[in-house]
Structure 1
């Protein structure tokens, strides 16, 4: 399902944090948001999964204004994994994942056999099947992250919004989770700090700085040394992955004496 952000601005406590963002993601694409801390990535994502309303503009999912949809319909279209989450009660892992099926259930009955089967399979896919009967609050940060990704997948969204989905994960699970999300089929909008993960897994990147889009396009075109020096204050050397051909970046601190040099 297509996603379009049409001149979206976001304000909090009277301060505009995101300015006139235009963004598009075609059905099945993985689109990444990258930028330094405080650039507005999480704020923009919160607007996309309805935790915030845009001050101006619209979030269009499948051509419909997401904020005008009924909550159940919106939940059938969009699932989110926020950067921060909390649980007041110590549900089991199986119960937490089953919550992802709520938009598809009727009445007040419990999950069906089909729902439970989807939940079991999602936990298996993220490598967390052995945790099903554990209390969620007893898990490590990485285990919790995998469980929450499973919950988002069983929601069967058409758009999946992920805010730093690889937080707390070791490198093996980082690669597995991003590949799994990609293979699951929904359109994905994700914020990523790791530029090499973004380059290797995203079809398009949008670079945010101070709440504005300053560059967009395929990773190999966007992640060029001049832009990275300007936005992140780093010296980057792009190389090509010998197997996939994807751009990979080697980083150094940007020395002041090189700030205006052609070597940047």
Structure 2
């Protein structure tokens, strides 16, 4: 299933949060949104999973404008993990994961045998099966994050929208989750802060700054020292991973210079 953002703009309180963003995510590919804090990544993702209505432009799913699709129907195709995902009710892990079947259910009937198997498989994949009977209120941040990803998988989406999915995860679970997503044959649009993780797992990277798309392409094309300096305000050396060949960034840690441009500052004409 293809995902396309077409001239997407979002304005709020007199500010432009996303400015005419156009981006294509091919079926089965993983595209990473990167950029400084406040660059518009989360705002763009909210438009995709329909928590926010764009001021102008459109989100197209297989060529169909999502604005013309009932919310329940689009929820059968698109699952989201948001930065604000949380559960304040005293549900068990198994109950939270089962909520992923809500867009497909009719009424409050019990899960079918197939749906129970979906839940078991998702729990195994995310290494949370041993937590099935625990209250989500007792989990660590990383455990809860894995439960919420499992819930999204149980939804059986064709498109996954993930806002910082590796937040709170230890290195093992970061690698395990992103490796799974890489091979899951899903269409994935994800915001990531870690440029090295983005380079390792994404087919393409889109760089945002001040709501504008400033670069888009394969990781090796996009993640250059010049772009990292211009957009993020830091100096970095780009090296190749010895086994995969993907670009990896080695950052230069130097005393903070208050006279340097603020991160995300992009000169006119680069947008």
Fold-level similarity (TM above 0.5): yes
Q: Distance in 1 between matches of 2:86 and 2:227?
A: 36
What is the deviation of 1:82? 0.1
Q: Deviations over 1:127-157 (max 9, x none)?
A: 1110000001110000000000001111111
The correspondence of residues 138-157 of structure 1 with structure 2, limited to 5 A, is 138-157=138-157
Q: Bigger shift: 159-168 or 175-184?
A: 175-184
Using structure 2 for the length normalisation, give the TM-score. Answer: 0.92
1:77 aligns with 2:77: yes
What is the deviation of 1:114? 1.0
Using structure 1 for the length normalisation, give the TM-score. Answer: 0.95
Q: Distance in 2 between matches of 1:117 and 1:187?
A: 23
Match of 1:225 in 2: 225
1:137 aligns with 2:137: yes
Does structure 2 retain, via aligned residues, the 8 Å contact 1:233–1:253?
Answer: no
Q: Which runs of 4+ in 1 moved over 3 A?
A: 253-256
Where structure 1 has 5 or more consecutive residues not aligned to the other structure, the ranges are 260-264
What is the deviation of 1:235? 0.8
Q: Distance in 2 between matches of 1:253 and 1:215?
A: 25
2:59 counterpart SS class: strand
2:248 counterpart SS class: strand
Q: Deviations over 1:202-238 (max 9, x none)?
A: 0000000000001110000100000100100111111
The correspondence of residues 11-90 of structure 1 with structure 2, limited to 5 A, is 11-90=11-90
Does structure 2 retain, via aligned residues, the 8 Å contact 1:17–1:210?
Answer: yes
Match of 1:111 in 2: 111
What is the deviation of 1:88? 2.8
Q: Paired residues, what number?
A: 260
Q: Distance in 1 between matches of 2:233 and 2:14?
A: 29
Does structure 2 retain, via aligned residues, the 8 Å contact 1:235–1:254?
Answer: no
1:124 aligns with 2:124: yes
Match of 2:236 in 1: 236
1:221 counterpart SS class: helix
